[in-house]
Structure formats: structure tokens, C-alpha cells
């Protein structure tokens, strides 16, 4: 490396180098190469192997996670030209202690998101900004006479922003727990942005593709076009496929989901180009494709540009009981389902059952989040989604169950669930009485990057039927453990419960914890942090040639 480049990367490490705007991003190379960070004596071997793309490399490229594939932040919403709907113009009165649910419904009717009968209306291009000014606004209390089956304020809407006057100024409140829906046995979310269309059959894959490559050959390109979002899809319970997927382990009879439903891969992609019968994606493929198992490219219904920012959600969780209502599911303020290029930023949660769940979505960014108050069930999680970026989530919830444990964290900290792919958990921190979430039903390729928090057993989650907790390519980079399991040994494959395919671990440090080496794919530089400090940041810099301004701004918050 020459002197000029050495000085440049030294300045980058302290955040003083100005970066280019998102509009001048260079085109990513076809197969994920690029400039920027180079191999040198100060970086660890795992990183140098990734840069060299040699036979020793085990790291996937996680740099495509997040809004706009990590290249830029969502625009200032006041510049979008969306029509502003101030909830106080529709009858909401801040700080009066009364429900403002009817006022919110009037806003949705004005937008066209619900009909006069209250039914959700498909509105893909609402171009609406729902604004909550300063004050507390109650969107549910026990005085609201709501059918439990129709509790959620459900919006089938894209190009819409939910915005407050500031996280310390605007609060959306649930005074009482949402009622249990008898049809499903648990309570519904309060606010829900959701596309209702699932994956639909389209075409089969007719060639193999390596993990990390960008293209597949398909039987037909009818119905496909550049810019379209689709799902690279596998669902097959062939015993040989399952056995191959679980190497070096074997399936257990309790893994009924894996055995009956099969191996499940749902990798949501945006098509970059089509030539002949070759479909090239904008992002790398996160699981090797073997055509013999009948892979498909499926249609994907979604909304785009859903934003939530500059406000707080307040529930009323008291003493926490795991798997008990209402603390586990009674206070779930908001979720999104089947969305792309969407975001949540500068949002706080207080005494909620679940903070935020991103379901069946792609390239969503969630960052600058605080979780306080009393402990609930879960923090922020990617649920069957692809390339979600979750950064700077600080979980300081208190555990009240007899004695109060301050800053214990939610029962399940920030993490993943279902067939999520390429999730990045970046610079997140949680309490000492928890661990990251990995809730089973085949999440894959998750990066926990420069995170800090408890590392206890029994907090990953997942029923026996949904195990293993995590499949291939779980990657922990510079994890700082603040609490350890009894005895200081963490088993990744434990016949008594929690089951992880061998993870990739680099720079694990903090409280001393040991791993059985037969249960890990890599455990490098154990007991010390390594350079680069953040794998996602280094990979994004390597791909683009610079670190985008939005990520440098997040780094400065730490």
C-alpha cells in the first residue's frame, strides 16, 4: 500500500475523510470485487483472505444489506413532495389521555388507504406523510371497542412515511394490551404496513450457481424484467438434501419442520439484467444453488419506501413473564411485511412486548433505536427477510420479576428468525441478561458485527420443531461479551436444546467464553478485537471505494 492510501485509510478509521454523495456511487463490479480496503499487516487474516478471495476465505459479502444496498440513506422526507396529513387536523388531541384511534382512521380514509367500511385498500403509491406533532397520542386503550380479529390498523400502502416531531417530543401510546385474537391465540400488532401477496410460481432454475455469484439460468424469462424484485426460492424435504444441509450433524426427530416441510431458502433479489435465459441479480446469492433440488425464481409482491422516524412508541409492560400475555405479545406497536427499500430511524421504544419486526422484506434499514422501560419479549429482528441492516440499537430494558435487574435487555435481543438471509446486526448493544436472537426455522448468513452484550444460553429462541436455531454462515465479528453462560463454555450444538450449525467467529472478546472447536467453522483471534473493527463497513468500503456518509454518521454516535 502506498503512503497516500495509508494516510487515507488512517483518516477513515477516525472518521475525518469526506465521502462522496450517494448519487455518485460507482457501479458495483459484476462479481463483487472492488477497491478501497486492501490487505495489509494490520488487518486480520480472515479479512485478508476475503480480499484475496483465496481458498481459505470463509466470509460472505454482507455489504449489500440495507436501504439502497447500503449506498445511501433515505432522503429527507420533507423533500419527497408527499402530502402531509397532520393527525390533529382529523380530531386527535395530544396529551388529553383519550384514544386518538378514530382520528388515525380518518387519516387513513383521507389517504385512501382504507374504505368507508374500514377495509384496507391497496394503495402502492400513497405519497403520504402522516405527521404526529409534539405530545402523546393514544392509539389504543380499553375504551376502544375493537373486534380482536380486526385490531390491527393495517395499511396496504407504499410510499408512505409515519413521522413525529422528534423521538423526545412525540409518543404513540398503547395504554392497555391489545386483545388476544382467538383465531391465532395471540395478540396482534397495533400498526402494520403489509403487502398481502406471497410468493408465486414463475420459472425454474436450470443451472447450478456458486454461493457469492450473481446469476442463475432459468427455464423462461417471461414475466421477468430489470429492476423487478423476485425470490430465489427452495422448499424441498428430500432426505439427501437435508443430510447435506446439516453436515457435520444429523437431523433429530424433533426437527419436524425441517423434516416435513424441508430445506427452506427465500433469498429476495432485485434483477439487474437479463440476457438470453441468464438472470443477473444486483446482490450476491447467499446459498449455493444445485439445480437437482428444484430451485425456482418466484414472483414477489411488495411495497416500497415505507418510513418510520422521529417518534417514540410507549407500551405498558409490567412484570415480565416469558410466553405469557400481555408481556409477551400484548404491546406490539408496529411492524412491516413485504416491503423493500424501507426504513426506521431515530425511534425509541418504552415497555413494549416487541419493538420492531421486519417480515418477508428486503433491503430495509433500521438504525438509531433505543429500547427502555420494562422488559418485553423481543427487540428488533429480521423475520424471513433478505439483507436487512439493523444498526445502533441500544437495548436497556429492565427485567422486573421479583427483583428488578436494570439494563437487562429484552428477553430476546436484536437478531433473526425464519428464513432470513444476509442480515447485518451492526454496532448494537444489549443488556447482560440476554443474548442475540436466532429463533429457528432456518435463518442463514447473518452477521453480528461489532456488537456488545450478554452471551447467555436459552435466549436465542425457537421451538424444538423449528430447530436448528441457525443454519450456515452465522458470522460473529468482534463480538464483545459482557456476561457468560454458567461455566464459561458455550455449546453451539447441544443435544439438550439449542442447535447452531458451525459459526464463523473472528475477534470474540470481553468476558472469557470458550467454544468447542469441533462445533465452529472458524474461531480466529479469540480474546482480542481485530482490524477492521467492522466487517460490514470494511466490505462496503471495499465494494464502493469509500464509506457512505450515512454510515460514518452512525459511527460518530457510538
Contact between 429 and 380 (Cβ < 8 Å): no
Q: What is the average per-residue pLDDT within 376-380?
A: 96
Contact between 338 and 361 (Cβ < 8 Å): yes
Domain presence at residue 47 = yes
Q: Residue-wise over 513-543: b if at least 16 C-beta within 10 A, else e?
A: bebeeebbebbbbbeebbbbbbbbbbbbbbb
**Which residues lie across from 297 on neighbouring strands?**
203, 232
pLDDT single digits (tens) 52-104 = 999 999 999 999 999 999 999 999 999 999 999 999 999 999 999 999 999 99
Beta strands in 142-277 (DSSP E): 153-155, 160-164, 170-174, 180-181, 186-187, 191-194, 200-204, 215-217, 229-236, 263-275
Domain presence at residue 83 = no
pLDDT score recorded for residue 5 = 36
Residue 17: pLDDT band (50, 70, 90) is very low
Q: What is the average per-residue pLDDT within 132-158?
A: 91
Burial category of 375 from C-beta neighbours within 10 Å (exposed 0-12, middle 13-18, buried 19 and up)? buried
Domain presence at residue 209 = yes
Kindly tell me if the per-residue pLDDT of 556 is higher than 80.
no
Residue 41: pLDDT band (50, 70, 90) is low
First-residue to last-residue Cα distance in the chain:
29
- The parent domain of residue 15 ranges over 3-60+537-557
Pick the closest to residue 62 from 549, 507, 392, 477 (CA basis): 477
Pick the closest to residue 93 from 153, 133, 131 (CA basis): 133
Kindly tell me if the per-residue pLDDT of 12 is higher than 70.
no
pLDDT single digits (tens) 176-234 = 999 887 777 777 899 999 999 989 999 999 999 999 999 999 999 999 999 999 999 99
Domain presence at residue 9 = yes
**How many domains are contained in the chain?**
2
Kindly tell me if the per-residue pLDDT of 8 is higher than 60.
no
Chain-centre distance of CA 452, in angstroms? 17
Q: What is the average per-residue pLDDT within 465-486?
A: 95
Q: What share of the chain is helix, strand, coil (3-state, %, to 5)?
A: 15, 35, 50
Domain presence at residue 496 = no
pLDDT score recorded for residue 558 = 63
Domain presence at residue 219 = yes
Last residue of one domain, picked from the residues 299, 332, 360: 299
Pick the closest to residue 165 from 307, 309, 369, 368 (CA basis): 309
Domain presence at residue 55 = yes
pLDDT score recorded for residue 3 = 38
Residues 45 and 50: their CA atoms lie apart, in Å, by 9
Chain-centre distance of CA 249, in angstroms? 27
pLDDT score recorded for residue 4 = 37
- Residue 442's SS3 state is coil
Q: What is the chain's alpha carbon radius of gyration, rounded to the nearest angstrom? A: 23
Domain presence at residue 108 = no
Residues 475 and 447: their CA atoms lie apart, in Å, by 5
Residues 410 and 27: their CA atoms lie apart, in Å, by 40
pLDDT single digits (tens) 282-315 = 999 999 999 999 999 999 999 999 999 999 999 9
- Give the pTM: 0.93
pLDDT single digits (tens) 330-359 = 999 999 999 999 999 999 999 999 999 999
Element (H, E) at 46: helix 45-52
CB atoms within 10 A of CB 326: 22
Residues 216 and 239: their CA atoms lie apart, in Å, by 25
pLDDT score recorded for residue 165 = 98
549-557 vs 535-544: helix axis angle to the nearest 10?
A: 160
Last residue of one domain, picked from the residues 275, 299, 323: 299
Query: Is the backbone peptide bond immediately before 248 cis, with ω within 30 degrees of 0?
Result: yes
Last residue of one domain, picked from the residues 270, 299, 328: 299
Taken in order 412, 445, 443, 501, the sign of the CA dihedral is negative
Q: Who contacts 55 (Cβ-Cβ below 8 Å, separation ≥6)?
A: none
Contact between 196 and 270 (Cβ < 8 Å): no
pLDDT single digits (tens) 406-421 = 899 999 999 999 999 9
Amino acid at each position: 500500500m502506498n503512503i497516500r492510501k495509508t494516510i487515507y485509510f488512517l483518516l477513515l478509521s477516525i472518521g475525518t475523510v469526506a465521502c462522496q454523495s450517494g448519487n455518485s456511487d460507482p457501479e458495483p463490479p459484476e462479481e463483487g470485487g472492488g477497491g478501497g480496503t486492501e490487505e495489509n499487516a494490520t488487518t486480520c487474516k480472515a479479512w485478508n483472505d476475503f480480499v484475496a478471495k483465496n481458498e481459505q476465505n470463509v466470509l460472505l459479502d454482507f455489504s449489500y444489506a440495507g436501504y439502497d444496498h447500503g449506498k445511501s440513506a433515505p432522503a429527507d422526507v420533507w423533500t419527497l413532495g408527499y402530502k402531509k396529513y397532520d393527525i390533529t387536523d382529523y380530531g386527535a388531541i395530544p396529551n388529553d389521555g383519550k384514544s386518538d384511534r378514530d382520528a388515525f382512521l380518518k387519516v387513513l380514509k383521507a389517504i385512501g388507504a382504507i374504505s368507508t367500511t374500514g377495509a384496507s385498500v391497496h394503495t402502492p403509491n400513497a405519497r403520504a406523510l402522516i405527521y404526529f406533532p409534539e405530545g402523546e397520542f393514544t392509539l389504543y386503550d380499553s375504551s376502544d371497542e375493537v373486534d380482536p380479529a380486526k385490531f390491527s390498523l393495517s395499511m396496504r400502502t407504499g410510499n408512505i412515511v409515519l413521522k413525529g416531531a422528534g423521538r423526545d417530543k412525540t409518543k404513540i401510546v398503547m395504554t392497555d394490551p391489545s386483545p388476544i385474537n382467538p383465531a391465532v391465540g395471540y395478540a396482534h400488532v397495533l400498526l402494520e404496513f403489509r403487502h398481502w401477496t406471497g410468493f408465486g410460481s414463475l420459472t425454474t432454475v436450470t443451472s447450478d450457481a456458486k454461493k457469492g455469484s450473481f446469476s442463475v439460468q432459468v427455464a423462461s424469462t417471461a414475466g421477468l424484467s430489470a429492476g423487478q424484485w423476485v425470490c430465489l426460492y427452495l422448499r424441498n424435504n428430500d432426505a439427501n438434501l437435508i443430510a447435506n444441509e446439516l453436515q457435520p450433524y444429523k437431523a433429530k426427530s424433533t426437527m419436524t419442520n425441517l423434516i416435513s416441510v424441508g430445506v427452506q431458502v427465500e433469498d429476495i433479489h432485485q434483477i439487474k439484467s437479463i440476457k438470453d435465459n441468464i438472470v443477473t441479480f444486483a446482490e450476491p446469492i447467499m446459498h449455493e444453488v444445485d439445480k437437482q433440488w428444484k430451485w425456482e425464481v418466484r414472483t414477489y409482491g411488495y411495497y416500497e419506501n415505507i418510513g418510520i422516524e422521529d417518534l417514540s412508541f410507549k407500551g405498558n409492560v409490567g412484570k415480565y413473564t416469558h410466553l405469557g400475555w400481555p408481556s409477551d405479545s400484548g404491546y406490539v406497536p408496529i411492524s412491516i411485511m413485504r416491503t423493500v427499500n424501507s426504513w426506521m430511524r431515530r425511534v425509541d421504544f418504552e415497555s413494549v412486548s416487541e419493538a420492531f419486526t421486519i417480515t418477508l422484506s428486503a433491503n430495509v434499514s433500521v438504525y438509531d433505536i433505543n429500547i427502555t422501560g420494562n422488559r418485553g419479549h423481543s427487540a428488533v429482528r429480521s423475520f424471513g427477510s433478505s439483507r436487512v441492516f439493523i444498526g445502533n440499537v441500544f437495548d436497556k430494558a429492565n427485567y422486573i420479576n421479583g427483583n428488578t435487574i436494570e439494563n437487562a435487555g429484552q428477553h430476546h435481543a436484536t437478531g433473526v428468525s425464519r428464513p432470513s438471509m444476509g442480515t447485518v446486526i451492526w454496532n448494537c448493544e444489549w443488556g447482560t441478561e440476554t443474548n442475540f436472537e436466532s429463533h429457528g426455522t432456518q435463518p442463514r448468513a447473518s452477521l453480528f458485527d461489532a456488537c456488545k452484550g450478554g452471551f447467555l444460553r436459552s435466549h436465542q429462541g425457537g421451538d424444538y420443531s423449528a430447530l436448528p436455531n441457525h443454519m450456515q454462515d452465522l458470522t460473529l465479528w468482534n463480538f464483545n461479551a459482557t456476561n457468560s453462560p454458567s461455566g464459561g463454555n458455550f455449546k453451539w450444538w447441544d443435544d439438550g436444546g439449542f442447535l447452531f450449525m458451525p459459526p464463523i467467529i473472528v475477534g470474540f472478546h470481553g468476558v472469557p467464553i470458550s467454544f468447542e472447536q469441533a462445533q465452529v467453522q472458524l474461531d480466529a483471534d479469540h480474546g482480542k478485537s481485530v482490524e477492521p473493527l467492522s466487517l460490514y463497513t470494511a466490505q462496503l468500503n471495499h465494494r464502493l471505494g469509500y464509506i457512505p456518509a450515512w454510515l460514518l454518521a452512525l459511527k460518530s454516535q457510538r
